[in-house]
C-alpha cells in the first residue's frame, strides 16, 4: 500500500495528525504501513505491548508508534511517535492515509431502480444493483455491485453495501454502516410448527432494524423477526459467517466473532463480546459486559458481567479418549465420594445425628 511513491509523509506530519510527541528524525519519510515484523525503513508500524513472537528490537521499521513507557524496547534506528494508545493512533493514521474510495460514482446505467425509489444527493448505485419499490437511499450511501434491496428498505447516510448484499422488504439500516459482500438481511427466520408430524412454516412478519455505525462481515445472515423485530444496536461489530436468528437483540457496541450462532429470541447486552464459534441457545439473555470465549456453548442466561468459557481444550487423542471415558463415570464417582464423606463424618463425629 503506497501513499505517494515519490514523497509519502514525514514523521512530523504524522505526529501532528495524532497530536503526539516525536523522538528521532522529524523528516523521515513514510511511504506505507506494515507490521513490526515485516516493516522496512520506509514503513510505519506500531507496538502496543508485548506479544508472543514479537520482538520490537528486531524490527526494521523506520517509524514506530509506541507508548512512552515502551521507548526502551524500541530499535535504535527508528523514529518514535509516542501516543497513549498506539493501536488507536494507527487506525486514525491509516484511515487518514488510505480513505475508502468507490470504484464507480453516480448511478450505473445497468442498475434496476423502481420509479418510487427516493435517492438523496451523492448516492452511488453500482452495476447490476436492483432496488425495489418505495426504498429510501440516504445521502452519501453506496449500494454496491449486484446488491438487491426489496421493498420499503431504508439505507442511512454514508452507509456502504459493498457488493452482492441482499436486504429484504421493510428492513432498515442506519448511518455509516459497512456491510460486506454476501450479507443477507431480512431472510425468514427458522420458524416451524409441528402439525401431526409434518412441519408448517410460521409466517415471519417482523423486520430487521440495524442502528448506526454497525459493521457486518461477509456472508453473515440476519433473520427477520417472527412478529417483533430483530434488532442490532448502534456500534455493533459482526464478523464473517455469523447466523443471527429471528428476534435476536444485540446491544450497543457489542462484537461477535466469526462462525458464531445466535438462536431465536436471544438477547445480548451492551459492550459484550462473543468469540469465534460461540453458540447461544434461544430465549436467553446476556447482561451488559459479558464476554464469552471462543467455541463456548451458552445454554442459560448470564446475569453478571465477566468472562465465561465452556468446552474441552484440545489434547492428544490418547489423553482425550481417557478423559472422555472418565467423564462418563463422574456421576458414579460423585456418589461414591459422597458416601465416603458421610462415612468419614460418622467416624469423626460418632455422636452426631445423620440427616
Q: Which residues, other chains included, contact 181 with Cβ-Cβ below 8 Å and sequence gap of 6+?
A: 144, 162, 163, 164, 165, 218, 219
Bridge partners for 256 per DSSP: 238, 274
Bridge partners for 285 per DSSP: 267
Q: How many CA atoms lie within 13 A of 291 on its CB side?
A: 5
At residue 145, φ and ψ (nearest 5 deg) are -55, 130
Distance CA 277, CA 257 (A): 7
Residue that is written with C-alpha cell 489423553 in the block: 319
At residue 317, φ and ψ (nearest 5 deg) are -60, -40
Three-state DSSP class for 164?
coil
- Exactly one of 17, 114, 246, 291 is catalytic; name it: 246
Q: What is the 3-state secondary structure (H, E, C) of 114-162?
A: CCCCEECCCCEECCCCEECCCCEECCCCEEEECCEECCCCEECCCCEEE
Q: Is 246 among the catalytic positions?
A: yes
Stated as kind and residue range, the H or E segment containing 323 is: helix 317-327
Tell me how crowded residue 126 is: count the other CB atoms within 10 A of its CB. 23
**C-alpha dihedral sign at 186, 291, 176, 92:** negative
Q: Which residues are catalytic?
A: 246
Amino acid at each position: 500500500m503506497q501513499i505517494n511513491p515519490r514523497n509519502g509523509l514525514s514523521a512530523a506530519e504524522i505526529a501532528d495528525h495524532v497530536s503526539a510527541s516525536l523522538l528521532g528524525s522529524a523528516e523521515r519519510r513514510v511511504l506505507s504501513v506494515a507490521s513490526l515484523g515485516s516493516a522496512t525503513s520506509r514503513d510505519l508500524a506500531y507496538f502496543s505491548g508485548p506479544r508472543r513472537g514479537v520482538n520490537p528490537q528486531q524490527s526494521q521499521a523506520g517509524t514506530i508508534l509506541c507508548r512512552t513507557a515502551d521507548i526502551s524496547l524500541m530499535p535504535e534506528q527508528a523514529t518514535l511517535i509516542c501516543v497513549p494508545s498506539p493501536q488507536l493512533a494507527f487506525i486514525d493514521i491509516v484511515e487518514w492515509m488510505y480513505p475508502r474510495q468507490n470504484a464507480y460514482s453516480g448511478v450505473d446505467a445497468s442498475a434496476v431502480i423502481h420509479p418510487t425509489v427516493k435517492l438523496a444527493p451523492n448516492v452511488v448505485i453500482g452495476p447490476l444493483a436492483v432496488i425495489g419499490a418505495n426504498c429510501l437511499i440516504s445521502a452519501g450511501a453506496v449500494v454496491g455491485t449486484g446488491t438487491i434491496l426489496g421493498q420499503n428498505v431504508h439505507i442511512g447516510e454514508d452507509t456502504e453495501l459493498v457488493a452482492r448484499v441482499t436486504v429484504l422488504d421493510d428492513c432498515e439500516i442506519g448511518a455509516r454502516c459497512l456491510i460486506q459482500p454476501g450479507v443477507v438481511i431480512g431472510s425468514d427466520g427458522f420458524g416451524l410448527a409441528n402439525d401431526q408430524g409434518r412441519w408448517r412454516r410460521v409466517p415471519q412478519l417482523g423486520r430487521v432494524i440495524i442502528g448506526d455505525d454497525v459493521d457486518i462481515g461477509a456472508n453473515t445472515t440476519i433473520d427477520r423477526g417472527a412478529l417483533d423485530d430483530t434488532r442490532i444496536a448502534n456500534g455493533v461489530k459482526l464478523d464473517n459467517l455469523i447466523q443471527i436468528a429471528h428476534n435476536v437483540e444485540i446491544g450497543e457496541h457489542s462484537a461477535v466473532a466469526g462462525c458464531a450462532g445466535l438462536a431465536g429470541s436471544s438477547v445480548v447486552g451492551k459492550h459484550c463480546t462473543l468469540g469465534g464459534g460461540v453458540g447461544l441457545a434461544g430465549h436467553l439473555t446476556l447482561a451488559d459486559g459479558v464476554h464469552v470465549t471462543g467455541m463456548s456453548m451458552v445454554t442459560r442466561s448470564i446475569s453478571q458481567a465477566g468472562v465465561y468459557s465452556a468446552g474441552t481444550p484440545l489434547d492428544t487423542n490418547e489423553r482425550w479418549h481417557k478423559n472422555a471415558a472418565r467423564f462418563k463415570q463422574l456421576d458414579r464417582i460423585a456418589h461414591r465420594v459422597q458416601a465416603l464423606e458421610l462415612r468419614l463424618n460418622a467416624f469423626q463425629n460418632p455422636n452426631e445425628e445423620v440427616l
